[in-house]
Structure 1
Amino acid sequence: MMIRDAMPKDISLIFGLIQKKAEFDRQMGSFSGTLKATPEKLSKTLFGDVPFAKVILAEIAGNAVGFGLYYFRYSSFNALPSLWLDDLYIESKARHQGIGTVLIKEIAAIAQKYNCTHLAWNAIETNQPGVRFYHKIGAEIVAQEGDIFLFKASPTKILKTGC
């Protein structure tokens, strides 16, 4: 397995993974809309003059099987960034092999490198395997709106977990 930063040439790969994540989220009941992402929009917003988010890819034997999409937020009161994990997705055939752990630890290492106060993300309550995984890596539910949990964890805590 290899984790690497996505590059502009990976747009169709990223788009395909986002499509699969949208379908997964539909099955979980957390997405019922129309996917509005396109390869062109992704290219412009991820690799344009002002990249709004970053993507890391998990590959096995040269084939992408998962991704993490994140961006930084900033607190003027702390004068420090935090990291928002917008997507963490592993293809069903590649789950339960430790890929999610490696991806989230890589993202935590990025957060630590940039002195982020924490990582945060949402998950739907019906995604019980995901919720269990997030607890296992040391994340805590800090808020709930309906069936959506807001998770938060320190980069250090994630990196220290033995999972």
Structure 2
Amino acid sequence: MACVSLIQRLALHSLAAIAVCTGVGCAQYSGLQAKPSVDGAERWQGRIAVLVESSPKQAFSANFDLQGNSQNGQMELSTTLGTTLAQLRWSTQEAQLEAGGTTRTFPSLRELTLAAMGAELPLDALLQWLRGVPASSEGWQSDLREFESGRLNAQRLKPEPRVDLKIIMDR
């Protein structure tokens, strides 16, 4: 398998789906409802940060705009100044990562996150967490205590490497 470039790795760390590092920002939360997108799909925006405690550690944070569901969706990751870092698109047939002028295709979103981070992100559970609904995913723990203020945290404890995911949702 070809190596994934650093920018692609960094972009995928944001997926996580999907996490915002401590102190990531001044985003404000708009309530418990996802914003509807133009086509009626659910939509979330905010800041996301991911820390993968591998050797060496990998960390990333960015703005995100996530639309869709676990079957079909897209996510754009950008800098605080609005520069697009990466775009991710997925369907039941494939997942694509566009970053640094190149597009890589994977058989699934799971494969995309594994290649980029060395860790699978639980998209089904993440989408529930973004709605404020507790959901389980093997090896993951979510903390929704600050959900009313637009924050959510999740950790993957097993299998290694440990992954910390933090999100602050925008208003």
Q: Report the TM-score, using the length of structure 1 for normalisation.
A: 0.30
Q: Which has the higher strand share?
A: 2
TM-score (normalizing by structure 2) = 0.29
Higher relative contact order, chain-length normalized (CA < 8 Å, sep 6+): 2
Which entry has the higher C-alpha Rg, 1 or 2? 1
- Structure number with higher helix proportion: 1
